Amino acid sequence: MNPKTTLILLIALVTLGGYVYIFEFQEEDQERDTSPKIFGAGYGEYDIVEMAITGRQSAAHFIRTDDSLTQDWEMLRPAPVPPAQLDQSRVNGAAARLAQLSASQVITGVTDLAPYGLDSPVLTVTLTISDGQKIALFSGTSTPVGGNRYVQLGPDEQSVYLVFDFAVDDLFRMLEELPLRITPMP
């Protein structure tokens, strides 16, 4: 092979490799979520096996069943509802969002919870993880600017997290409109 041709092919190969490295691999690094996870590394979709949601006016309690391959949810409270009558996508979606809940900001060293509405939380979520661990998450008021809500992990935690409203609003909706499967009209 001609040395000139070899040199040209080598330059083209190095240029192509440089392009792939700069524009592909570095974009992946920038796209990674750098928001702090509230539960440390986060949990998988099926790690949450029980979810109790308590608001000021109502409460709901969901538990996974082992009867199906997909580990469907059933509702125990306010009234027992079997998995076939429950909107599994709504309950699964809420559990998946909670498992990967991340904060847009963390306020540390908090001693007075009143400014955040956490002295009397508007919503309490108790999660049971597959290893038996129980986690309590308290939701306070929305931020003054809006779009975020204050939450606290456990009653003794001295950090307050700002999470997007939609992560918590879905839990409020589950109390207001129970996630029952809609029966089609004949």
Residue 79 forms part of a structural domain: yes
Residue 157 forms part of a structural domain: yes
Residue 131 forms part of a structural domain: yes
Where is pLDDT greater, at 40 or 114?
A: 114
Co-location of 15 and 78 in the same domain:
no
Co-location of 59 and 17 in the same domain:
no
Co-location of 89 and 9 in the same domain:
no
Q: Which residue range(s) make up the domain with 4?
A: 1-32
Co-location of 145 and 78 in the same domain:
yes
Co-location of 26 and 53 in the same domain:
no
Co-location of 2 and 90 in the same domain:
no
Residue 43 forms part of a structural domain: no
**Among 4-13, 123-132, 140-149, the least confident range:** 4-13
Judge whether residue 26 has pLDDT over 70.
no
Residue 182 forms part of a structural domain: no
Co-location of 128 and 171 in the same domain:
yes
Which is it for the CA torsion 91, 167, 55, 158, positive or negative? positive
Residue 118: the pLDDT is 92
Co-location of 22 and 69 in the same domain:
no
Co-location of 113 and 165 in the same domain:
yes
Confidence of residue 32 (pLDDT cuts 50, 70, 90): very low
Instruction: Give me the chain's average pLDDT, please.
Output: 83
Cβ neighbours for 132, distance < 8 A, ≥ 6 positions apart: none
Reported as a single tens digit per residue, the pLDDT across 85-141 is 999 889 988 888 888 888 888 999 988 999 999 999 999 999 998 888 898 999 999
Could you give the strand order of the β-sheet that contains 105-107, starting from the edge strand earlier in sequence?
73-77, 59-64, 48-55, 123-129, 134-142, 148-153, 160-164, 105-107
Looking at the 3D structure of the chain, how many domains does it have?
Answer: 2
